[in-house]
């Protein structure tokens, strides 16, 4: 009986070995940027997508166009980091379900469009939102309309326009120039049989410094300070008689700030507020301008 039992056990063990040897391992599924974007679009939970990335054979790309396409597809930054970690053989942040591959000094270059990975060093993957940051040479042009708040010359909120152009020296600092126009008053009527019309406006122009606060998002606040020239002009004309004009100019100091909100990589809306202190008290102690408009920023490649 013992011999039969041993023989039966050996036969059973042999059968298990044969069955195990005949079972084929399922190869990892290939994944690309498009695969991840489709899973996001399908509404699959992010942790499940990370698991799929961890168990995949990665064929991801991280050149600037690919990163922009991922962002436009709604792929979260955490997923992009998980893709990069898997592609370059590094541990996926916050994921412990699959033992990650260990990068070695003999790691082969990866054709990701951003360059090779050599000697086990993983190339930094840019944040897709960094292309909203300025860099040396970035030019920002904006034009807006709003109100000029006057408490002294002609107390009221007058329609105003503001145009600015800035050139970045760094992602935190830039120099700017501006030109503003404010309509103060106008009117016409009949006086002693003559048609009389009058107009008063304020021109101001100047330059200064701009300090930007990069947030890594589409919302980029900034502050400004500068010096300029305020030019108050008034003109009147009388039909059949002639016209005359007069003006007074004064230097001013100004400061303010605002925020740029990007709608696309280059275009967005802007809210700007400036306070001005002219050198002549005849202008009033302070006057302010609030403007809402659009801007265009170019030469702003990802850092």
Q: pLDDT digit string (tens) for 55-79?
A: 999 999 999 899 999 999 999 998 9
Among 103, 126, 149, where does a domain finish? 126
Residue 231, class by beta-carbon neighbours within 10 Å (0-12 exposed, 13-18 middle, 19+ buried)? middle
Tally of CB atoms within 10 A around 276? 24
Instruction: Establish if 20 belongs to a structural domain.
Output: no
Among residues 22, 27, 24, 13, which one has the least CA distance to residue 55? 27
Q: pLDDT digit string (tens) for 133-173?
A: 888 889 999 998 888 776 666 677 888 888 999 999 988 99
Give the tokens for residue 26.
């399922």
Which residues, 6+ apart, have CB-to-CB distance to 20 below 8 Å? none
Rg of the chain over all Cα atoms, to the nearest angstrom: 33
Residues 191-205 as b or e (16 or more Cβ within 10 Å = b): eeeeeeeebbbbebe
Question: Could you tell me which residue, 38 or 146, shows the higher pLDDT?
Answer: 38
Question: Could you tell me which residue, 243 or 62, shows the higher pLDDT?
Answer: 62
Q: Looking at the structure, do residues 158 and 285 belong to the same domain, yes or no? A: yes
Question: What pLDDT score was predicted for residue 151?
Answer: 67
Instruction: Establish if 12 belongs to a structural domain.
Output: no
Taking 80 as the threshold, does the pLDDT of residue 29 lie above it?
yes
Question: What pLDDT score was predicted for residue 260?
Answer: 93
Residues 97-122 as b or e (16 or more Cβ within 10 Å = b): eeeeeebeeebeebebebeebeeeee
Instruction: Establish if 69 belongs to a structural domain.
Output: yes
Question: What pLDDT score was predicted for residue 92?
Answer: 87
Count structural domains, the chain: 2
Q: pLDDT digit string (tens) for 260-295?
A: 999 988 899 999 998 888 887 655 567 788 889 999
Cβ proximity of 79 and 49 under 8 Å: yes
Taking 90 as the threshold, does the pLDDT of residue 102 lie above it?
no
Q: What is the mean pLDDT of the chain?
A: 78
Question: What pLDDT score was predicted for residue 75?
Answer: 93
Among 83, 109, 126, where does a domain finish? 126
Question: What pLDDT score was predicted for residue 257?
Answer: 93
Question: What pLDDT score was predicted for residue 284?
Answer: 57
Q: Looking at the structure, do residues 145 and 262 belong to the same domain, yes or no? A: yes
Q: Looking at the structure, do residues 117 and 155 belong to the same domain, yes or no? A: no
3-class state of residue 38 by DSSP = helix
Cα–Cα dist 41/30, whole Å: 18
Among residues 54, 116, 50, 37, which one has the least CA distance to residue 89? 54
Instruction: Establish if 60 belongs to a structural domain.
Output: yes
Instruction: Establish if 240 belongs to a structural domain.
Output: yes
Q: pLDDT digit string (tens) for 185-209?
A: 787 877 776 788 888 888 889 999 9
Q: Looking at the structure, do residues 70 and 187 belong to the same domain, yes or no? A: no
3-class state of residue 259 by DSSP = strand
Question: What pLDDT score was predicted for residue 228?
Answer: 93
Cβ proximity of 255 and 242 under 8 Å: no
Query: Average of pLDDT values for 245-249?
Result: 82
Cα–Cα dist 87/79, whole Å: 12
Cβ proximity of 116 and 274 under 8 Å: no
Q: Looking at the structure, do residues 227 and 156 belong to the same domain, yes or no? A: yes
Among 126, 160, 187, where does a domain finish? 126
Which residues, 6+ apart, have CB-to-CB distance to 68 below 8 Å? 128, 131, 265
The residue assigned the tokens 């993983």 is 122
Q: Looking at the structure, do residues 162 and 75 belong to the same domain, yes or no? A: no
Cα–Cα dist 78/129, whole Å: 13
Instruction: Establish if 21 belongs to a structural domain.
Output: no
Q: Looking at the structure, do residues 98 and 218 belong to the same domain, yes or no? A: no
Question: Could you tell me which residue, 2 or 235, shows the higher pLDDT?
Answer: 235
Question: Could you tell me which residue, 55 or 299, shows the higher pLDDT?
Answer: 55
Cβ proximity of 200 and 154 under 8 Å: yes
Question: Could you tell me which residue, 59 or 3, shows the higher pLDDT?
Answer: 59
Backbone φ and ψ of 15, nearest 5°: -65, -40
Instruction: Establish if 15 belongs to a structural domain.
Output: no
Check which CATH number belongs to the domain holding 218 and give it. Answer: 2.40.160.20
Question: What pLDDT score was predicted for residue 117?
Answer: 40
Q: Looking at the structure, do residues 199 and 55 belong to the same domain, yes or no? A: no
Question: What pLDDT score was predicted for residue 113?
Answer: 42
Q: Looking at the structure, do residues 121 and 253 belong to the same domain, yes or no? A: no
Range of the domain at 115: 29-126
Q: pLDDT digit string (tens) for 73-101?
A: 999 998 999 999 999 988 887 776 544 44
Taking 80 as the threshold, does the pLDDT of residue 236 lie above it?
yes
Q: Looking at the structure, do residues 160 and 265 belong to the same domain, yes or no? A: yes
Taking 90 as the threshold, does the pLDDT of residue 116 lie above it?
no
Cα–Cα dist 92/51, whole Å: 10
Q: Length of the chain in residues, anyone?
A: 303
Taking 50 as the threshold, does the pLDDT of residue 13 lie above it?
no
Residue 42, class by beta-carbon neighbours within 10 Å (0-12 exposed, 13-18 middle, 19+ buried)? exposed
Q: Looking at the structure, do residues 161 and 122 belong to the same domain, yes or no? A: no
Whole-prediction pTM: 0.55
Question: What pLDDT score was predicted for residue 189?
Answer: 79
Half-sphere exposure of 292 (CA within 13 A, CB side): 2
**pLDDT band at residue 213, thresholds of 50, 70 and 90?**
very high
Q: Looking at the structure, do residues 109 and 166 belong to the same domain, yes or no? A: no
């Amino acid at each position: 009986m013992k011999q039969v039992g041993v023989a039966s056990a050996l036969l059973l063990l042999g059968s298990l070995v044969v069955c195990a040897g005949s079972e084929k391992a399922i190869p990892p599924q290939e994944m690309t940027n498009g695969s991840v974007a489709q899973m996001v679009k399908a509404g699959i939970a992010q942790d499940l997508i990370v698991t799929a990335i961890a168990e995949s054979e990665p064929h991801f790309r991280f050149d600037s166009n690919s990163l922009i396409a991922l962002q436009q597809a709604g792929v979260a930054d955490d997923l992009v980091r998980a893709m990069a970690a898997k592609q370059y053989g590094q541990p996926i942040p916050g994921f412990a379900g699959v033992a990650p591959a260990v990068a070695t000094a003999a790691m082969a270059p990866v054709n990701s469009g951003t360059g090779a990975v050599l000697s086990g060093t993983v190339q930094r993957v840019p944040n897709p939102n960094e292309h909203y940051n300025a860099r040396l040479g970035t030019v920002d042009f904006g034009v807006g309309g709003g109100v000029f708040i006057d408490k002294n010359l002609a107390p009221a909120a007058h329609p105003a326009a503001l145009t600015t152009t800035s050139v970045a020296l760094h992602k935190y600092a830039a120099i700017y120039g501006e030109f503003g126009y404010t309509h103060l008053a106008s009117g016409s009527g009949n006086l002693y049989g003559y048609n009389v019309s009058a107009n008063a406006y304020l021109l101001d122009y100047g330059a200064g410094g701009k300090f930007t606060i990069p947030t890594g998002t589409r919302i980029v606040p900034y502050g400004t300070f500068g010096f300029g020239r305020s030019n108050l002009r008034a003109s009147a004309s009388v039909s059949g008689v002639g016209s005359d004009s007069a003006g007074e100019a004064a230097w001013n100091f100004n400061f303010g700030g605002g925020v740029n909100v990007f709608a696309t990589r280059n275009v967005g809306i802007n809210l700007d507020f400036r306070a001005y202190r002219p050198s002549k008290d005849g202008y009033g102690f302070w006057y302010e301008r609030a403007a809402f408009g659009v801007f265009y920023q170019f030469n702003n490649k990802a850092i």
